[in-house]
Chains A and B, each alone.
Chain A
Amino acid sequence: MLIDCPWCGPRSVEEFTYRGDGTLKRPALSDRSIDAANAYVYDRENPAGDHMEIWHHGNGCRSHILVKRNTLTHKILSCELLGPYSAGRKK
């Protein structure tokens, strides 16, 4: 697979580490619900088809990238930067 890193350009998957499901949102810091935390830590869908994933460019710029990938074809549909420099955030 090739992941199109927003900083580095298309790079081989060997440079990246899969860091999990990109659809999950951590419960708020103030949320003390064990059920909600449990779901965040353990509950995962296993979709056959398009899936949002987080990949860490550990052997590159070390940024985290939100990757939309088809789990059946391995086709990568989009790559977005996460973190302070993501498109959705003010710089």
Chain B
Amino acid sequence: MSGYRISSPDAEGRINPTKLLNFTFNGRTYSGLEGDTLASALLANGVGVLGRSFKYHRPRGIFSAGSEEPNALVTLRQGGRSEPNVKATEIELFDGLIAKSQNCWPSLKFDLMAINQLAGNALSAGFYYKTFMGPNVFFNRTTEVWWQFEKIIRRAAGLGKASLEADPDIYERMHAWCDVLVVGGGPAGLIAGERAADSGAKVILCEQMAKTGGSLVGSKDIIDDMAGNEWAKACIDRLRDHENVRILTRTTVQSYYDDNLLHAIEHVADHKIKPDAFEPRQRSWKIRAKSVIIATGAFERPLVFSGNDRPGIMLADAARRYAVEYGVLPGKLISIFTNNDTAYHAARAMADCGANIKTIIDVRQQVSGEIRAVAASMGAELLVGDAISRTSGLQKISAIHVGHFNADSKLVAPSTHRIETDCLLVSGGWSPAIHLTSQFGGTPIWDKELQAFLPGKPLQNWHGAGAMAGKFGLANTLLSANDAAKSALKSIGIKPKKLKPPLVISEDVSVQPAPIYEIRRKIKKGKSFVDLQHDVTSEDVRLAHREGFISVEHLKRYTTLGMATDQGKTSNVTGLAIMAEARGEAIEDVGTTRFRPPFTPVALGAIAGESYGDLKPYRLSPMNDWHITRGANMYANGLWMRPETYNRSGETVEQAYIREAGAVRKSVGLVDVSTLGKIDVQGPDAGEFLNRIYSNGFAKLPIGKARYGLMLREDGFLFDDGTTWRLEENHYLMTTTTANAGPVMEHLEYILDVVWPELKVSLVSVTDQWAGIALAGPNSRKTLEACVRGTDMGDKAFPFMGVRDGEIADIPVKIARLSFSGEMAFEVFCGAMHGQALWDVLMEAGKAFDITPYGLEALSTLRIEKGHVAGPELNGRTNANDLGLGGMVSTKKPFIGSVLVRREALNEEGREQLVGLRSLDGQKISGGSHIVASADQVQPGESLGHVTSACFSPELNCYISLGLLKNGRARIGEKLHVTSPVRGTHGAVEIVSPHMVDPDGRRMYG
């Protein structure tokens, strides 16, 4: 191909001839014009070969002028902004643009992998399936051996490489709604959008190119006495003046989902060298539309013949567009190969721009007198009833070989003449761009006259307009768009404003092609490509048929036809036609595959939008700042940030938690428990409700008392535990574990709404409203006595599990005498905003007792020593009996889970039970280690259970843990081993009761 720029483009198209832009392709610098695409600029510079093909590494050039491009894929930009597989036909040129070819090594001109062409028949359809499940030739290790080869083969076949650097740009997500969404800013979209806007509808109009106007750009059509291009410009200007209209250019509507939800990508800054400050590169739109007008036009498809992939071969209408929209002619000696009339008119428009149209080869047996006249008017030689049998050229096309075409056998006779040409334009008919209509499931309908699939019956509220709906020709297009707007408006109850249909002067061109898709030669020589991007040939389709893959869905997957980044926009129908012929059936009986979203490739960044890194905000306790200033190791516990330990200088985490836990047992410590889930439960049936959702009795809980409760799931397994405090007759405060606060709330809401709506109970989550501090240790009461007013802290007046109101430094507090640590302990709750003040007062009051703040590690150590269960034991697979809590499962009352907890499987012998483990050899026990019988680290034997929570016990001065062990309670006293093949540890342990410290609880009650 030897393209060039016409010195003065005839009609005003997309380019600005006065603004030069410089760009680099494969290291060479070129210049183009503002408004060019990378493809049009390369064509204007005579660059014909852009890359190598996917499988065979054949040289390929520019084939189309839009989103259907199968060949001209490049890697755009460099470094973190480098983007592979971008279509040169969609890249808007900017000054400083850098792009390079893909899939060629060491260079585009000399590509070593082109050797794949010689292995052509071995790389046929189903190559991977056949190869990697191939015959057993490596002594039962075939698959493994092939995996090694696969790495090499995969490198040879492929597209561009993604950058390994982080993407420096930002992306945005937007949500919008409208009455009418117009997809496509061509003549149909513009007139439909204007009618909807004039009728008062809220309209969003999306156009994928920078400029609206579609086929009117550069056309010679006249609408209402105006040049088509001028009419389009006036129309979009009027639309911009409407307050109820949003126009999104450079925006591709990608996907059509349920309830008229559509997804679009706006290329905000892809046409710049980099986005402006704070500007996103792309914006992802979710648009909820009451009705949709789809005016996406149609794609021209090629003809299939031997050597139809050579650079210099291009779709006829694409060439027309380069001429009239960009002022670029793709060759000096142009030939045309067609099965329909539209190619003649494309050629005529190009001839008007100065193109030399040498030959037109029409595969049809007859053409009309008018069409002969069009050919004659540009001085082109017309060969009717002939076809191209093959092409030749070193890389680019230099000649075509033409012979007579037999319409019955679909075979071309050996060539009778050779025609020199540097550019061959092909046209095989038109396929309406029905992708959006098909995505949602509307089965496309085959139209015999157009030889194309038309959109099926709408399953949602959309209305087709223009070529997408099979209405070709400008007058028809405008008429159908007008009707589409009318029906869209009516469907949503908006009265369409009367509109005078525009007066159109336009050439009437028939788009009906002869039903010829492939030109076959008698001798099987050369490759005829159906899917240019995935290198699928017509022989591959027939091979798939011979091997039994005759369903279109199987054909697609076996040959990968239509599965590349272009999703077969130019190849699907042709592939189906060849399969239909092989099956001896009509295309409509063979059917088509469903189009899937997205319409064009979408950057992952656009989908992620602002959601990267930490996806959720952290929740912070009211005392968070204090923890941080005191050097706490903060870590995420669910969404909460909590102190792990308060390390003193030089201390390790282990030293810190041992010191903290020891201080609690010796004197007094305090810990932030604001993160506990808290649910306020009120109502006349609150007591009955609690009695039904906890497995233990709650009916007789007196006012001013708390009770530890176990919550089961309906299936009988443990769900959560916590204390619930009875504050008043019909008022309770429930606490849940930190991790389960949300799920418990949902569980309770479900029960009240769905299961027992007759219960008069109201729930409010008050987790964030209460700050909570637990004081634990033998001096905890004395600490409180020093600061609490309004309640008697004495053992008799304030017994274990008591709940009292009081005041600490004028802060109203609720105090509950509860213990998780096994020491005498209290939980003090106050309004969240007083949390820090309360903490400060307690720290001051405890000074005399050397009060020690402790973190989660020490909290965990204290409860492991006591055998209190937490998250690792409440793992969703344990029931109350497993954890030694069987006594808390009432047999006297029904509750959630009371029936299925009696199931055989939950009560059978051999279940894992909670035990304590003490290290016998001074080795640390790791959580997750398996409990085994054998002392042999290499052959540890079967797993008898596993370690759930482990720590060093300052009280017992050894490593201990809790674990779940088969028949554990019966094995207390046994000496077993814990093993962790992952960590490489193996140690001796003694199985003990889980209540390892103060088993009868004297400290708690004292």
Instruction: Find out whether the CB atom of B754 lies under 8 angstroms from the CB atom of A1.
Output: no
CA distance A32 to B459 in the complex (A): 48
**Closest-CB distance, A27 to chain B (whole angstroms):** 8
Question: Which of A30, A34, A83 is in CB contact (< 8 Å) with B894?
Answer: A30
Partner among A17, A54, A73 whose Cβ is within 8 Å of the Cβ of B754: A54
A83: contacting residue among B692, B752, B899, B900, CB under 8 A:
B752
A1, A58, A83: which contacts B746 (Cβ < 8 A)? A58
B909: Cβ under 8 A from any A Cβ:
no
Beyond A1-B259, A37-B900, A38-B900, whether A64 also contacts B714 by CB under 8 A is no
A1-B258, A56-B746, A64-B749 known; A32 and B899 CB under 8 Å? yes
A65 to B894, CA, bound (A): 27
Residues of A at the B interface (CB closer than 8 Å) are 1-2, 12, 17, 19, 26-27, 29-34, 36-38, 40-42, 54, 56, 58, 62-64, 73-74, 82-84, 86, 89
Inter-chain contact A83/B715, CB cutoff 8 Å: no
Q: Is B903 an interface residue (CB 8 A)?
A: yes
Residue of B nearest to A40 (CB): B714
Question: Does B614 count as interface, using CB distance less than 8 angstroms?
Answer: no
Q: A30-B894, A56-B750, A74-B259 are in contact. List 20 more A-B contacts (CB 8 A).
A: A27-B899, A31-B899, A33-B899, A34-B899, A37-B900, A38-B900, A38-B903, A41-B715, A42-B715, A54-B750, A58-B746, A63-B753, A64-B749, A64-B753, A82-B754, A82-B757, A83-B752, A83-B757, A86-B757, A89-B757
Do A82 and B714 touch (CB < 8 A)? no
Cβ-based interface call for B982 (8 A): no
Instruction: Please measure, in the bound complex, the distance between the C-alpha atom of A34 and the C-alpha atom of B714, giving whole angstroms.
Output: 11
Collect the chain A residues with CB atoms within 8 Å of residue B750's CB: 19, 54, 56, 64
Q: Which residues of A contact B749 (CB under 8 A)?
A: 56, 62, 64
Q: Which residues of chain A come closer than 8 Å to B746, judged between CB atoms?
A: 17, 56, 58
Q: Which residues of B contact A54 (CB under 8 A)?
A: 750, 754
Contacting A29 at CB < 8 Å: which of B692, B902, B903?
A: B692
The answer to whether A64 and B715 have CB atoms under 8 Å apart is no
Chain B residues near A63: list those with CB within 8 A: 753
Q: Complex Cα distance A2/B286, Å? A: 13
Q: Is the CB of B523 closer than 8 A to any CB of chain A?
A: no
* Across-interface contacts of A30 in B (CB, < 8 A): 894
CA distance A1 to B715 in the complex (A): 31
A73, B753: Cα distance in complex, Å? 28
Beyond A54-B754, A56-B750, is A37–B894 a contact (Cβ under 8 Å)?
Answer: no
Verify B753–A82 contact, CB threshold 8 A: yes
Which chain B residues lie closer than 8 Å to A41 at the CB level? 714-715, 900
Asked if A83 contacts B754 (CB within 8 A), the reply is: yes
Within 8 A of A (CB), among B724-745: none
- The distance in angstroms between the C-alpha atoms of A63 and B763, with both chains bound, is 12
Q: Which residues of B contact A26 (CB under 8 A)?
A: 755
Q: List 25 A-B contacts (CB under 8 A).
A: A1-B258, A2-B258, A2-B259, A17-B746, A19-B750, A19-B754, A30-B894, A34-B903, A37-B900, A38-B903, A40-B714, A41-B715, A54-B754, A56-B746, A58-B746, A62-B749, A63-B753, A64-B753, A74-B258, A82-B753, A82-B757, A83-B754, A84-B757, A86-B757, A89-B757
Distance in Å: Cβ of A23 to nearest Cβ of chain B: 12
Complex-state Cα separation, A12 to B258, whole angstroms: 10
Bound complex: CA of A29 vs CA of B753, how far in Å?
16
A29 x B894 contact (CB < 8 A): yes
List B contacts of A42 (CB < 8 A): 715
Q: What CA separation (Å) do A58 and B261 show in the bound complex?
A: 21
Query: A23 to B121, alpha carbons, bound, how many Å?
Result: 58
- Contact B753 A83, beta carbon cutoff 8 Å: yes
| Complex Cα–Cα for A32 and B898 (A) | 8
Instruction: Provide the residues of chain A in CB contact with B760, threshold 8 Å.
Output: 84
Could you tell me the distance in whole angstroms from the C-beta of B493 to the nearest C-beta in chain A?
16
Inter-chain contacts of B757 with A (CB < 8 A): 82-84, 86, 89
- Cβ of A79 to closest chain B Cβ, rounded Å: 13
Give min CB distance, A56 to chain B, whole Å.
Answer: 7
| Chain B residues at the A interface, C-beta cutoff of 8 Å | 258-259, 261, 288, 459, 692, 714-715, 746, 749-750, 752-755, 757, 760, 894, 899-900, 902-903
The 7 closest A-B pairs by CB, nearest first: A83-B753, A37-B899, A64-B753, A2-B259, A29-B894, A74-B258, A82-B753
Are A34 and B902 in contact, with the CB atoms below 8 A? yes
Within the complex, what minimum Cβ distance (angstroms) separates B775 from chain A? 34
B893, closest chain A residue (CB): A29
| Neighbouring A residues of B715 by C-beta, 8 Å | 41-42
- In whole Å, how far is A84's beta carbon from the nearest beta carbon of chain B? 5
A residues near B459, Cβ cutoff 8 Å: 73
B753 touches A34 (CB 8 A): no
A76 to B643, CA, bound (A): 47
Given contacts A1-B258, A26-B755, A29-B894, contact A34 B692 (CB under 8 A): no
**Chain A minimum-CB-distance residue to B692:** A29
Q: Chain B contacts of A84 at CB under 8 A? A: 752-753, 757, 760
Q: How far is the CA of A58 from the CA of B753 in the complex (A)?
A: 13
* CB neighbours of B288 from chain A (8 A): 2, 12
With both chains docked as a complex, state the minimum distance between the C-beta of A75 and any C-beta of chain B, in angstroms.
Answer: 8
Within the complex, what minimum Cβ distance (angstroms) separates A28 from chain B? 9
User: What is the chain B residue whose CB lies nearest that of A83?
Assistant: B753
**A43 and B755 alpha carbons, distance in the complex (Å):** 17
How far is it, in angstroms, between the C-alpha of A29 and the C-alpha of B692 when the chains are bound?
9
Q: Do B754 and A37 touch across chains, with their CB atoms under 8 A apart?
A: no
Report chain A residues within 8 Å CB of B752. Answer: 83-84
> Which residues of B sit under 8 angstroms from A58, Cβ to Cβ?
746
Nearest CB to that of A72 among chain B residues?
B441
B754–A64 contact, CB under 8 A?
Answer: yes
Q: How far is the CB of A25 from chain B (nearest CB, A)?
A: 9
Neighbouring B residues of A2 by C-beta, 8 Å: 258-259, 288
How far does the alpha carbon of A42 sit from the alpha carbon of B754 in the complex, in Å? Answer: 17
Q: Which partner residue on chain B sits nearest A66 by CB separation?
A: B754
A72 CA to B205 CA in the complex, in Å?
A: 31
CA distance A74 to B441 in the complex (A): 12
Distance (whole angstroms) from the CB of A48 to the closest CB of chain B: 14
CA distance A28 to B587 in the complex (A): 59
Residues of B close to A33: CB separation below 8 A: 899
Which B residue's beta carbon lies closest to that of A28?
Answer: B894
- CB-nearest residue of chain B to A19: B750
A55–chain B nearest beta-carbon distance, Å: 11
CB distance from B253 to the nearest CB of A (A): 18
> Is B900 a contact of A34 with CB atoms below 8 Å?
yes
Question: Whole-angstrom distance from the CB of A88 to the nearest CB of chain B?
Answer: 9
CB distance from A49 to the nearest CB of B (A): 15
Measured in the bound complex, the distance between the Cα atoms of B753 and A34 in whole Å is 24
Known: A1-B259, A31-B899. A37 touches B753 (CB 8 A): no
Q: What CA separation (Å) do A53 and B376 show in the bound complex?
A: 69
Task: Name which residue of chain A comes closest to B895, CB basis.
Answer: A29
CA distance A29 to B288 in the complex (A): 45
- In the bound complex, how far is the Cα of B541 from the Cα of A41, in angstroms? 50
A33–B750 Cα gap in the complex (Å)? 22
What is the CA–CA distance of A1 and B900 in the complex, to the nearest angstrom? 35
Residues of A within 8 A of B903 (CB): 34, 38
Note all chain A residues with C-beta closer than 8 A to B900.
34, 37-38, 41
Q: Tell me how far the C-beta of B751 lies from the nearest C-beta in chain A, rounded to whole angstroms.
A: 9
In the complex, the chain B residue whose C-beta lies closest to that of A38 is B900
Chain B: CB-nearest residue to A54: B754
Contacts of A82 in B (CB 8 A): 753-754, 757
Complex Cα–Cα for A86 and B758 (A): 11
Tell me how far the C-beta of B173 lies from the nearest C-beta in chain A, rounded to whole angstroms: 12
User: Inside 8 A of B692's CB, which chain A residues have their CB?
Assistant: 29
Q: How far is the CB of A85 from chain B (nearest CB, A)?
A: 9
Question: Given the complex of chains A and B, what is the CA–CA distance between A26 and B895 in angstroms?
Answer: 12
Docked CA distance A2–B749 (Å): 22
In the assembled complex, the CB of B905 is this many whole angstroms from the nearest CB of chain A, namely: 11
A91 to B459, CA, bound (A): 40
A68–B668 Cα distance when bound, in Å, is 58
Question: Given the complex of chains A and B, what is the CA–CA distance between A1 and B460 in angstroms?
Answer: 12
B894 to chain A, nearest CB (A): 5
Return chain B residues, CB-CB under 8 Å to A37: 714, 899-900
